[in-house]
Structure 1
């Protein structure tokens, strides 16, 4: 299936950053593992684009995992005019602005998306000092009524998963999803990558997948930053799954889920399987 396995720990940090809570990229092929720690999202995107182009030119297939949600609970894209994952991916690529020093407008984008709803939300959590009209600082009400539900189907099965609407506060992952999806939309058009489980993995030399590293225990090597250890261990795990014949089963699992998983919400690779 794949020759090269990549795992990316993404970050929505507003300034250039390395070390803990920054972007880490691990690449494993055969018995070799390399890890990098780009300072900005722009640098990380350029690195990934070059990596995918090089692997494709060499005739190698790539499975690349990313630690942020690839979709949102059903209902958001219908409000944007057309149900389906491509709607929000294209919308975020148009809206998200990245600065050379990691500044971005993710909170303003959350507020802009909220204007499609008749109640406060669904995006919430303003991490800035300035107030942003339309972006509540605290979690709103109305979930499953005026607003979509809090969780995707897969989030409810993943221990300690955070809701993708939450843009700030302890454990928040919403900022990573906004900036990460915008980046992947550009990357998939530039490289021809397929997005699992929305697109079938056999259609491209590069396949992008959502991965939740906290599903598995972690044993960092001496001197490793936790994020560094996670990307290394997950990239190696993906390779082991394939060697043991289990990766295909994990990638096929969304076929047995409701169609909203494959059309809009996405799925976490490895969830629901004992791997």
Structure 2
């Protein structure tokens, strides 16, 4: 991975909390997220440049910064943020397929947090100046990792 760390700043934070995220560099085999990230980034860019929503799409935290109000955007904006479903307690009863249960659970949690205003806590991690620079210029952040 040289000269890059195997894990991003946010992944180190999650690991310190006892979770075991896989490396963004892992592109294949069970648990790999790197290939999903590459496909997701490419998909998001296609949506940005080829649809009526392109001008309204905002990517957190790269275009918004980090902080309690960074998810607000302008009226009509669609804010995209990275999430890691494994950091949440998943309702396995809502769907028999784990990935679907994760998506449904996280969507419900975020909708509830958006409605009650607590989602702003999720976008305001404590970061050193060096970490903040890495996050905003290179690595991004996972919504909800504090």
Q: TM-score, normalised by structure 2?
A: 0.77
CA distance 1:154–1:197, change in 2 (3 Å): same
Larger radius of gyration: 1
The structure with the largest helix share of the pair is 2
Secondary structure, in 3 states, of the residue corresponding to 2:124? helix
Question: CA distance change for structure 1 residues 206 and 254 in 2, over 3 Å: closer, same or farther?
Answer: farther
**Which runs of 5 or more structure 1 residues have no equivalent in the other structure?**
1-121, 123-142
- Distance change in 2, residues 1:227/1:187 (3 Å): same
Query: What's the CA shift for 1:267?
Result: 0.3
Counterparts of residues 1-275 of structure 1 (less than 5 Å): 122=1, 143=2, 147-158=3-14, 159-189=19-49, 190=51, 191=53, 192=55, 193-200=57-64, 201=71, 202-203=73-74, 205-221=77-93, 224-253=96-125, 257-272=131-146
Please give the TM-score of this superposition, normalised by the length of structure 1: 0.43
Structure 2, unaligned runs of 5 or more? 65-70
More strand, by proportion: 1
Q: Is the 8 A contact 2:94 2:101 kept in 1?
A: no
What CA RMSD, in Å, does the superposition of the two structures yield over aligned residues? 2.1
Cα displacement (A) at 1:223? 5.3
- 1:154–1:271 Cα contact (<8 Å) kept: yes
